[in-house]
Amino acid sequence: MARNSRGEVNVLSVNGGSSSLKLWVYAMPEERRVASATVNIADQASELAGFIDTLERDGMGIDAVGHRIVFGGASHTTPELVTPQLLEQMQELIPYDALHLQPELDAVVIAQRHVPNVPHVLCYDTAFCSRMPRIAKTYPLGDEFGGVSRFGFHGLSCEYIVSVLGASGKTVIAHLGNGASATAVLDGHPIDTTMGFSPLGGLMMGTRPGDLDPGVLLYAASELGYDNATLRKLITDRSGLLGVSGSSPDMRTLLARRATDERAALAVDLFVYIARKQIGALAAVLGGIDTLVFTGGIGENSGEIRNGVAEGLRYLGDIDVRTIPTDEALSISRHVHALLSARTART
C-alpha cells in the first residue's frame, strides 16, 4: 500500500447522493482531514476532475478511494474492493433502492476514470445493521418474500458514533436529517432500527413518510389511480415534512414559519412526535436507554427538535442526552485503510 513521505495513506471518501457529490480526503492512519468539497451531481465528472487536479497541484496524491454505498443487501456486509464482477452484482441490486444506488454506482465509475491505478472500495451503509438479531430483521410475510428483510441504514454514521461513545450500555442513535432513522445499540452491537427494507420506512423525513399503513398505498392505487411511478414519486419526493407542510422539506424553514403557518407547525410537531414514539419503542427493545445521541443535520443543529424529542422521554429516567456530529467519511476512510492494511499484511 502506497504511503506518502509522512508515512500516511491519503484516502478519498466519496458520498454520491441524488443531487450532490461530497468528497473528503483523510490522511490515514492519523485520521487527519486534509481536503473536502461538495460538487453538483450534474457536473460531477468535470468537478471531480477539477478537485483531483487541485490536490495534485498542492502535491497531494490519492492512494485509495472509498465509496459510500447505501444498500449492500444480505450478500455485501463488509467493505469490498471494486472489481468489474462486483459492479455487475451491484447493478442487480438497483431495484431495491434505485433512488440511491444508481447515482452512487455512477459516481464509482466516474471516480475510477479520474483516480485510476489505485484501489477503490465499496463501504455499505446497511452493513452495520446486518448484525441485528434475526427477529429484528424479519417481516411477517410468507415464503414468496424470502429476499425481503429489514436491512437498516445509516450504518456508517452509527459506526462513527459508537467509536466516539465506546461499546458499552444501552444507546439509541437518532440520525435526524433529510433522511432520518433511530438505531438501538447494546454494548456497541445493533439490536434494532427504524428503517427497514428501504430508506423509506421508520421516522418521518424531509420528503419521505416513514412508516405508512400499506392500506394507504392500496387506496392510492385503487381509488386515486396511482401507477407505480406515481406511487414512487409520492413516497420519495412528496411526503414527509414537504407533504404535511405543503411548502418545504427543510426543517430550518419550517421552524422559522411555525408561529404563523399552521401547516408548518403541524409538520414540525409531527416530526417530533413520531421520533419520540419510535425511540420509545426502541427503549422497550433495549429495556431502557442509558444514552440518547442526536446526530445528522437536524439532530446536530436544532436544539428545539432535540428538546422536543427528549422532553417526551423523561419517563425513562436518567438518560445521558448527547449531540455528536457524525463523520461518515472518516468511517469510510477507516474501512479502506483497514482493508488495504490487511491485504498488505497477507502479501
97 is catalytic: no
- Please determine, for residue 3, whether its predicted confidence score (pLDDT) is greater than 70: no
Confidence of residue 40 (pLDDT cuts 50, 70, 90): confident
Active-site hit among 63, 125, 261, 327: 125
Any bridge partners for residue 309, and if so which?
none
Give pLDDT tens digits for 41-61.
778 788 888 898 899 888 889
One DSSP character per residue, 147-206 reads T-------HHHHHHHHHHH-S-SEEEEEEESSSEEEEEEETTEEEEES--SSTTSSS--S
pLDDT at 45: 80
Record the pTM. Answer: 0.94
Closest alpha carbon to 197 in 279, 144, 285, 126:
126
Residues of the chain above pLDDT 70, percent: 97
d(CA 160, CA 166): 10
For 282-301, write each residue's pLDDT tens digit: 999 999 999 999 999 999 99
Q: How confident is the model at residue 5 (pLDDT cuts 50, 70, 90)?
A: low
Section 222-230 average pLDDT = 96
Domains located in the chain, CATH noted: 9-124+330-346 (3.30.420.40), 154-316 (3.30.420.40)
Confidence (pLDDT) at 1: 57
Find all residues with CB under 8 Å of 343, minimum gap 6, and list them: 1
